Structure 1
Amino acid sequence: MISVADLQRRIDAGELSPDNAIAQSLEAITAQDKAIGAFVCCTENVRAANAGPLRGIAVGIKDVMDTAEFPTEMGSPIYRGYRPRADAAVVMMLKQAGASIIGKTTTTAFASMDPTPTLNPHNKGHTPGGSSSGSAAAVAAGMIPLALGTQTGGSVIRPASFCGVAAIKPSYRLLPTVGVKCYSWTLDTVGLFAAGIDDVARGLSAMTGRPELLLPHTIPTPRIGFVLQDFAGAPETSGQAALRIATRAVEKAGAYVRALNLPQIFADAWAAQPIVQEFEAHRALAWEYREHYAEMAPLLRAKLDGSRDTTPAAYDAAIGIANRARQALEKVFDDGDVLLTLSAPGVAPKGLGSTGDARYNRLWTLMGVPCVNVPALVAEVNLPVGVQVIARYGADAQALAAARFVEGALARR
C-alpha cells in the first residue's frame, strides 16, 4: 500500500516531486484496476497542487459525493451521466489541502446493499465489502494513498476490515455531508481510508485544518474497555480471533484492559438503528422510489418495500432510544478511554452476493462516535480481519492515538 506519511516525507525532502507521486498512482491504477474494478471513472489529466499538506496525494472519491469534474452516478442507472455543477464540501476540503482528485470509486446503489462488481484485492473470489467498496479496495491494492467513503450502518469500518486497511468514521458531522447523496440524515458520516493509522490521521487533519488530530510523538497508554456486543450475535471464528489477538497484544504492551457489559439500553438502540435508517431513507430517496421504482437496485428496492409502513411514532420512539443510549454511553467511558470491539463478524464473504453484515457497526454509527479500524490479522485464504477502536463523541484525536497504540502493539506481538 501507499503511505501518505511516506509520500509527504519524500516530497518534503525533495526526493519525490508531487507530480511524480500522482503519476505513480496513475500507473498503479492502469496496471491493477482492470482486475479489481475499484474505479467508476478516472482521469490522467491531473496535476499536483503547488502547496498544501496533501500536495502529491491522489485521492479517490466515493461516487455518492458530488464532483464537478466527474459524473456522480451513485451506483444507479437513474443517475447515469449525471454531472453536478459543484464539488461536495469534503471534496473542496481535500482540494484546499492540496490533494489531487484522481477519480470516483465504486459504491453500492445509493450507498445501500446491492454489491458492486469490485473484487477484494487480497482474494478476488471475495467481496471488498460495502458500501464504500471501491475506496477500500483501491487503497488496499496500492493504487491510491487516500480515499473517501461514507458510513450509515457499517460502510467504512466493515470494508476496511475486509480489505486490511486503516479507516476512520469520524464523529458525526466532523466532516460535512453537503453535496453527498443522503440516505439517512441522522446517520450518514463521511470517512477516510488509508494504509495506516498515521496516514488516516494526516488526511483528516489536513482536510479539517485541525492539527490536534495528528498523532503525538509519544502515544499514551490507553485504558481500554473490551466489548463483545452479545446482542449483535456471535462472531465468526476469524472475527473472534482478531479481537482476542488484539486484546492480548495491547495487554502485553502495557494497556489496562477491562471487559465491559453494555446496559440493556444499547441492545435497544442497536435494534432501533434500522428503524431510523429506513424511515429516513424513504424520505431521502422518495423521488427515486416513486419516479424510478423499476430502476432501483433490487435489494434496496426490497428493503424499502419492506419498511414503507414504518410510522412516525415508531421513528420518534427509535430516536428517543438513541438519545438515551448516547447519554448512557458517557458513563461507559468512565471505565475506559476507548472501547475495543469487532469491526466485522469475520473475513469478507465469498462471492459478490453480499457486501457483508454491519451488525457490529450500526450501534456506533447511531451513537455518532468516532470509530477507527485497525487491521489485526490475516486469516484463511489470505483475507484480513480488523478490530475497531471507539472513543467518546468529539474525541477523534483520542480515538486515533489509541488506534495507533493498538496498531503498534499488533506489529510487535
Structure 2
Amino acid sequence: MHVYPAPLKKISQDLRRGTVDLEQYIVNICDHIEKVEPDVQALLPEPGRKERLLKEAAALKDRYPEPAGRPVLYGIPVGVKDLLRVDGFPTRAGSSLDPALFQGPEAACVKLLRQAGALVLGKTVTTEFAYFEPGPTRNPHNLNHTPGGSSSGSAAAVAAGMCPLALGTQTMGSVTRPAAFCGIVGFKPSYDRISTAGLVYFSPSVDHLGLFTQDLAGTEIAAAVFCRDWHPVDTAPGKPVLGVPEGPYLEKAGTEARQVFEQQLDRLSGAGIDIIRLPVLEDVEALARRHNRMASAEIAAMHAPWFSRYEELYRPRTVQIIREGQEIPDEEIEKARRGRSKLRRRLENCMQEAGIDLWAAPSTRGPAPEGISATGDPAMNLPWTYAGLPTITLPTGKADNGLPLGLQLIAPFWADEKLLAWTRELSCHLG
C-alpha cells in the first residue's frame, strides 16, 4: 500500500503560520515522490522538479515574509491534470500527438491557484484525451488495480500523499470515480462553476473541473479559491433530507457497493437523518445514450483539426469514439444539449416535491477493478454530470478485498456551498 496522509487544511495552516518551513516541506514532498512515484506513476516526468519547486518556494517566501499576509494556498503543491495548459509545461493530454498542437494561454484555474499562493507540483497523468485509453498510473491502495479515470494521476497523487490538492476534469465520471477508487474526497462543482478556459476539451457541453483532496475541510478551502461567486456556508442549514434514487439507476451498483451504501444509510438514519426512497432516473439507459452520443459528436468536432492528419497516433478506443461522433447528425446533438437542462429541472422538481435536499448514491458500481487496462464504469456518475449538478464523493467503507468505496451526494444546480455544508454535517455520522 502506498497511501500517506496529506490533509490540505492542516498543511496549509502550518505553511501559512510558518510552523512548517516551506522549503523543507518541498524537500520532504520531493523525497516522498522519489520513493512512491516509481510504483504509482501519477505524474508526468519532469527533470529538475525539486530544484524548480525550491526556487519558486524561495520566491514565495520573499514575497510573503509575514505569516499574516500569506494567501490561503501559500506553498501548497498542486497536481494539475494534463488536459489543462500550464505555462512552462507541455500539454500532451495523455496522447502521442505533438504538444505544440495544444499550445495556448494558461488555464484560468491554474492562474487562480497561483494567485492563491500555490505551486504547480507538475502535470498528472490522464487517460488519452480524457476517454478510456488509460495511462500507467496505479491505485495506491493496491498497485494491481486501476485508480480510475480519466483523472487517474490526480486522484492517485493525492491518495499517495504526493500533494494535498489536485485538479481534474469530469465528462462522465472522471473525478468522482477515481476519487472513490482511491479513497479520497472528490468534488465536482456545478457545470461552469469553475472556468474551463485553457482546457483541451472532450465535450464542452458537459466538461467540468473538479478537485481532489484527502479532507473535506481542504475541499472547502479549495472550492472558495476556484469556484465563481463562492459564498461559504459556515453552519449547515439543519439536517438534510436525503433522497435515494430507486430503480434502474441504483440497480447498476454491484452487491458490495449496495451493501456498504445501505450500511451508511442506516448510520445516517440512526443519527436522525430523514431518508426518502423514490423511483427516479427510470430512463437512465436513454439518458446515458443521449449523453454519450453528444460527447462523441463534440470530441469529434474538437479533434477535427488533428484527427485527419494524425489518426495513426490515436489509440483504438479514442479512434472509435471520434469516428462514431463524426456520423451523428446536428439535430441529434442539439436535442441532447437541450436534454441537459430538462433533466436538471426534472431532478430538481422531484427534490422540491418530495422535500429532498440531497440525492445519495454509491459513488461507483464497486471497488476499483483489477488491472490497469481499463478505468472502471462511470454509470453511477453520468446522469448527474449530464444534468450539471454538483456532486461530492466521500470515502465511507471498504470492499471485501480492502479497496475503498465511496458515498456520492448530489445537490441542486449552483447549490455547491450547501452541498459542502451538508456533507460536513453528514460526515460526522459516517463510518
User: Cα offset for 1:248?
Assistant: 1.4
Give deviations 1:336-365, integer Å, cap 9, x for gaps. 111101211000111012100011111111
The answer to whether the 8 Å contact 1:41/1:105 transfers is: no
The answer to whether the 8 Å contact 1:219/1:405 transfers is: no
Equivalence for 1:203: 222
Distance 1:276 1:242 in 2: 33
User: Cα offset for 1:5?
Assistant: 0.8
Matched, 1:117 2:121: no
Matched, 1:216 2:234: yes
Instruction: Single out whichever of 151-160 and 224-233 deviates more from structure 2.
Output: 224-233
Distance 1:225 1:257 in 2: 6
Equivalence for 1:9: 13
Corresponding residue to 1:92 among 94, 101, 111: 111
The answer to whether the 8 Å contact 1:115/1:353 transfers is: yes
- What runs of 5+ residues in structure 1 fail to find an aligned partner? none
User: Cα offset for 1:163?
Assistant: 0.3
Instruction: Single out whichever of 201-210 and 380-389 deviates more from structure 2.
Output: 201-210
Instruction: Single out whichever of 328-337 and 366-375 deviates more from structure 2.
Output: 328-337
Cα distance change of structure 1 residues 9 and 38 upon mapping to structure 2, 3 Å threshold: same
User: Cα offset for 1:212?
Assistant: 2.5
Distance 1:206 1:320 in 2: 30
Equivalence for 2:245: 227
Give deviations 1:127-159, integer Å, cap 9, x for gaps. 000000000000001111000000000000000
Corresponding residue to 1:390 among 386, 399, 410: 410
Distance 1:300 1:406 in 2: 39
Instruction: Single out whichever of 177-186 and 376-385 deviates more from structure 2.
Output: 376-385
TM-score, L = length of structure 1? 0.94
User: Cα offset for 1:399?
Assistant: 1.2
Quote the RMSD (CA, aligned, Å). Answer: 2.0
TM alignment of 1:119-134, pairs within 5 A: 119-134=138-153
User: Cα offset for 1:322?
Assistant: 2.8
Equivalence for 1:150: 169
Matched, 1:34 2:54: no
Corresponding residue to 1:378 among 389, 393, 398: 398
Matched, 1:18 2:37: no
The answer to whether the 8 Å contact 1:288/1:296 transfers is: no
The answer to whether the 8 Å contact 1:227/1:341 transfers is: yes
Distance 1:119 1:32 in 2: 11
Matched, 1:192 2:223: no
The answer to whether the 8 Å contact 2:236/2:418 transfers is: no
Equivalence for 2:315: 297
The answer to whether the 8 Å contact 1:229/1:360 transfers is: no
Equivalence for 2:67: none
Equivalence for 1:75: 94
How much identity, in percent, do the aligned residues show? 31
Number of residue pairs aligned between Structure 1 and Structure 2: 410
User: Cα offset for 1:274?
Assistant: 0.7
Cα distance change of structure 1 residues 139 and 228 upon mapping to structure 2, 3 Å threshold: farther
User: Cα offset for 1:369?
Assistant: 0.8
- What runs of 5+ residues in structure 2 fail to find an aligned partner? 65-69
The amino acid across from 1:319 in the alignment is R
SS in 2 for 1:7: helix
User: Cα offset for 1:191?
Assistant: 0.3
Equivalence for 2:420: 400
Give deviations 1:360-412, integer Å, cap 9, x for gaps. 1111111011000111112233210112110011000111122223322114x
TM-score, L = length of structure 2? 0.90
User: Cα offset for 1:19?
Assistant: 3.0
The amino acid across from 2:379 in the alignment is R
Corresponding residue to 1:262 among 277, 280, 283: 280
The answer to whether the 8 Å contact 1:67/1:88 transfers is: yes
SS in 2 for 1:386: strand
Cα distance change of structure 1 residues 407 and 21 upon mapping to structure 2, 3 Å threshold: farther
Corresponding residue to 2:343 among 307, 310, 325: 325
TM alignment of 1:134-173, pairs within 5 A: 134-173=153-192
User: Cα offset for 1:250?
Assistant: 1.4
Instruction: Single out whichever of 5-14 and 84-93 deviates more from structure 2.
Output: 5-14
User: Cα offset for 1:265?
Assistant: 5.8
Distance 2:284 2:402 in 1: 34
Distance 1:314 1:217 in 2: 44
Distance 2:122 2:421 in 1: 30
